[in-house]
Amino acid sequence: MDVISVIRTKRDKGELSPEQIDWVIDAYTRGAVADEQMSALAMAILLNGMNRDEIARWTAAMIASGERMNFDALSRPTADKHSTGGVGDKITLPLAPLVAACGAAVPQLSGRGLGHTGGTLDKLESIPGWRALLSNEEMLHVLDTTGAVICAAGDGLAPADKKLYALRDVTGTVEAIPLIASSIMSKKIAEGTGSLVLDVKVGTGAFMKTIEDARELASTMVALGTDSGVKTVALLTDMSTPLGLTAGNALEVRESVEVLAGGGPQDVVDLTIALAAEMLAAAGIKDADPAKALKDGSAMDVWRRMIAAQGGDPDATLPVAREQHVVTAPSSGVLTRLDAYDIGIAAWRLGAGRARKEDPVQAGAGVELHAKPGDTVTAGQPLLTLHTDTPEKFDYALKSLDAAWDIAPEGTDFTPNPIVLDRIA
**Which ranges of 90-210 would DSSP assign to H, the alpha helix?**
92-101, 120-124, 136-146, 159-169, 177-191
- Three-state DSSP class for residue 208: strand
At 319, the amino acid letter reads P
Q: Any alpha helices (H) in 67-110, and if so which ranges? A: 92-101
CB 283 within 8 A of CB 195: yes
Catalytic residue among 81, 82, 215, 337: 82
Please give the DSSP secondary-structure letter assigned to residue 350: I
Greatest distance between any 2 Cα atoms in the chain: 68
Which residues, in sequence order, are CB contacts of 274 under 8 Å at separation 6+? 235, 419, 420
What whole-number distance in Å separates Cα of residue 239 and Cα of residue 118?
A: 13
N-to-C CA span, the chain: 37
Query: Torsion angle of alpha carbons 266, 245, 236, 13, nearest 10°?
Result: 180
Whether 39 is catalytic is: no
- The dihedrals phi and psi of 382, each to the nearest 5 degrees, come to -60, 130
Closest CA to 188 of 284, 106, 113: 106
Strand partners, 369: 384
| Residue 195 a catalytic site member | no
Set 161, 199, 238, 267: catalytic member: 161
Tell me the Cα Rg of the chain. Answer: 22
Catalytic residue flag (residue 10): no
Q: CA angle, corner 420, sides to 415 and 425, nearest 5?
A: 150
What are the percentages of helix, strand and coil residues in the chain, rounded to 5?
Answer: 45, 15, 40
User: Under a CB-based contact definition with an 8 Å cutoff, are residues 109 and 142 in contact?
Assistant: no
Tally DSSP H helices, then E strands, for the chain: 16, 13
Q: Which of 244, 290, 291, 242 is nearest to 265 (CA)?
A: 244
Q: How far apart are CA 404 and CA 338, in angstroms?
A: 6
Starting at the edge strand that comes first in sequence, how are the strands of the sheet with 80-83 ordered? Answer: 80-83, 195-202, 231-238, 420-424
Q: Is 183 designated active site?
A: yes
Say whether 82 is catalytic: yes
Say which of 10, 112, 187, 304 is annotated catalytic: 187
Catalytic residues: 82, 161, 168, 183, 187
